[in-house]
Amino acid sequence: MSVEELSRTGFIESVGDLEALYGQPGQTSLIKEIDRIIPAYAAFIEASPFVALATAGPEGLDCSPRGDQRGFVRIKNERTLLMPDRHGNNRIDSLKNIVRDGRVGLLFLVPGSGTTLRVNGRARISADAELRASFAVDGKAPRSVIVIAIDSIYFQCARAIHRSRLWEEDAKVDPKNLPTPGDILHELSRGGIDSRSYDEEWPERAAKTMW
């Protein structure tokens, strides 16, 4: 189907139609994707304090934020990553998905850098006591460690970061202009949860359960 025909029909229904609309990727878009960690890619992993973890399961897809001390995702070897699962809300959506469908996608962000790093692979969950202890912070070990076997790894160009102006000071949004977690819970519980109390108590709760 031609680009003109696609413009008239609206929805794209095939890979062929997509390729007709977008064209083929350039050499640099393909050569950057490999199946192992090279020193240049290791530098981004070791500098990153934040990763988006995507998983899939019977109930659908999930994308979970993972933040910790810089370099918290550990490089075991050139084809294996280790990620501690720190204290959270106990929904364990990502972990449930991994147990049933090990496919994962990771997006590493480095504050100040426009370049991101993407990893696709397969994960398992380890409860090994020695491995968990090696990730302890303030004497507190994670409940489990996600072990990721790398299928592909590549850097993503900086256009998205530059367009969003993600790291620029004047692009920051004042939190006062957004609903607080307490506000959201108050609305969803139809007044059953007190907004002010929830928000005022959260910093203390978080401090006690950070690790």
What is the residue-wise DSSP string for 161-195?
Answer: HHHHTTT-GGGPPPGGGS--HHHHHHHHTTTSS-H
φ and ψ at residue 17, rounded to 5 degrees? -65, -40
Residue 103: closest CA among 67, 70, 65, 58: 58
What stretch of H or E contains 27?
A: helix 27-31
Query: How is the chain split into domains, by residue range?
Result: 1-26, 32-164, 173-208
Query: Digits of tens for pLDDT over the chain (211 positions)?
Result: 566 665 666 788 899 988 988 999 889 889 999 999 999 999 999 999 999 999 999 989 999 999 999 999 999 999 999 999 998 888 999 999 999 999 999 999 999 999 999 999 999 999 999 999 999 999 999 999 999 999 999 999 889 999 999 999 999 999 999 999 999 999 999 999 999 999 999 999 888 888 8
Task: Put the strands of the sheet holding 80-85 in their side by side order.
Answer: 60-67, 50-57, 103-109, 116-126, 144-156, 80-85, 74-77
Per-residue pLDDT, 89: 86
CA gap 46, 207 in Å, rounded: 25
Does the pTM surpass 0.75? The reply is yes
In angstroms, what CA-CA distances link 192 with 1, 16, 182? Answer: 55, 52, 11
φ and ψ at residue 76, rounded to 5 degrees? -80, -45
The CATH number that domain 32-164 falls under is 2.30.110.10
